[in-house]
A and B are shown apart, each in its own frame.
Chain A
């Protein structure tokens, strides 16, 4: 007699799970539900920068959640090096996104943006400001203004405020492509202003102890110090410069452009001058929305870091470009009705042709993907007496 085999609970449960997963997956592709990849540094020495970017992406996702097209955000941690970014971008590319936002560092950008470009996926840099990023390929763009535009402004402001400056010392992290790119611009601007470059010190983004390079530099009696570094190393450098007796002005590059430097250099951050691509007091609807969302659960006068605003802008640009693209489709047609390669191609074309009112001000793009931004300012860091909190105060 044939006895029916008892049901085995584990395989059955797995089969049901798989079925449920495939149903969910099908649902995800229906209508205008599209996937936006984001590869940012949540760990390692650029983790602070990435965490700011994640805040911006989260706020933008909440802001645009109720507006078509629906974007499902897939976030991957790139770590702070090229290897981590490569793994994260490979995972993102395999997830078939309509576009990718990131990575955090230019150094990583040169490694992974070509991957997205080869896969013909639009990739939008959030904080990748080194020279040459948009020129990586036709699918590469960025919302972060290039270092060539940003860097010289803070130097000019420092010289304007301290007209007696003649002797300038430069520190830069030689193992980061953004820092080396930025220092070239700074050094060019220093020479163009007829200032004397009395010392150029190479450091590493891994460095924390700067006693040796600082004492070397201080012997040349600089009247201005210009730093191109990232948060941890740069913050330590600023602190140790002050502790070792340097009292003159310090101009810092974009790598230190975040409130995350406060716990590193503490009260010694005071007076640091940095060009801002984001002005929190900008009067437009997008910025007001960002500020209101950012202040929920924070101090009433809290302002988002620049990278938060840039990440928000990147999401907004992709979302608005997709909405514009959808408007060009026949009535009733969804974006998903387009084959994914064609959708990406048309998204890129629409995105580069658009004009966007973002928290960074009005953004447009050049045909090769370079952002064209008009609003810039220079801020001076002002620390509270306890050295734990501070503000970026815009200079007139």
Chain B
């Protein structure tokens, strides 16, 4: 019983990060039909923003060596601000890497390359400014919380529980917004058919910007939380999560918000089920599962088969 609880907690806390990450991909994919490969870099930036907002100093190996903000915010305030900073960067990416191609009616696939380019530029910019060293959000940032707690006989780190909680709240809010607000419905309309949505008076461009902003915000929050949980292992630390997020996106169904959540949790649980002595092969299990699911349901678990238009 304890083992099952431990397995569930391990899987859910890991899966929540994947889900949060994949949601950013999903929001952009749903309105543009392309994957934003700069998403991992925005996630990384969110972690760095959080680190600096809580009073962290730049290391010795970048142009900003030793730089420190003149104030230090508590983590709970720094995290949403970092999310907003990441959202601003995501909007900038939309303006520079996506909008020009869209305005020229370029093949949407070209945006894959421009977003990849934007991601590479961002990661290298981070390295140029603050170096390649690891940064850690101090373990005392969650003052008052114990390092780990025991739930039903299982041991879990408090930060993992916080991650699970924040992810659940954000996913619920996002679902409520999409289903229950005018702008949320507008986003759904654009994702269904941008041309018809435009004819109906829905500002497609604005909806796309909202999708990017939200996607950046979620990435920033996820980056800050993961940075707190496992430290910021240099400018490239978002890449691994980015790859896993892509897997989750495809497993859940491209462009499906509930699919991203379900996919994240399934991959998290699949990894948690890997026997102890084979834990180094977790990715094989996760991607193997993805492979099998796609053989049976190429559209993903909750994706739709789009009718081909003649």
Contact = CB atoms under 8 A, between A and B. Distances in A.
Asked if A and B are interacting partners, one says yes
Contacts of B168: none
A263 interface: yes
Interface of B: 3, 6, 10, 13-14, 17, 61, 127, 131-136, 138-140, 147-148, 154-157, 160, 226, 229-231, 233-234, 236-237, 240, 271-272, 274, 276-283
Interface residues of A, number: 45
A216 B279 CA distance: 9
B279 A212 contact: yes
Contacts of A387: 138-140
Given A43-B127, A232-B134, A212 B271 contact: yes
Contacts, number: 123
Nearest to A212: B10
Interface stretch (A14-22, A26-34, A238-246, A274-282): A238-246
Which of B134, B271, B274 has the most chain A CB atoms inside 10 A of its CB? B134
B10 A211 contact: yes
A213 B140 CA distance: 24
B286 to A, nearest CB: 12
A203 B132 CA distance: 22
Contact of B132 (A42, A211, A267): A42
Given A244-B148, A244-B155, A209 B14 contact: yes
A328 B172 CA distance: 78
A202 interface: yes
Contacts of A47: 132-133, 234
A217 B155 CA distance: 12
Contact of A266 (B131, B138, B154): B138
| Closest CB pairs A-B (n = 3) | A202-B280, A47-B132, A216-B276
Which of A212, A240, A266, A267 has the most chain B CB atoms inside 10 A of its CB? A212
Contact of A208 (B3, B132, B157, B231): B231
B279 A245 contact: no
B149 to A, nearest CB: 10
A178 B27 CA distance: 41
A263 B134 contact: yes
Nearest to B236: A44
A240 to B, nearest CB: 7
A248 B229 CA distance: 22
Given A208-B231, A211-B14, 17 more contacts: A45-B233, A47-B234, A201-B279, A202-B277, A202-B278, A203-B279, A208-B226, A208-B240, A209-B230, A212-B10, A240-B157, A260-B133, A263-B134, A263-B135, A264-B136, A268-B139, A387-B140
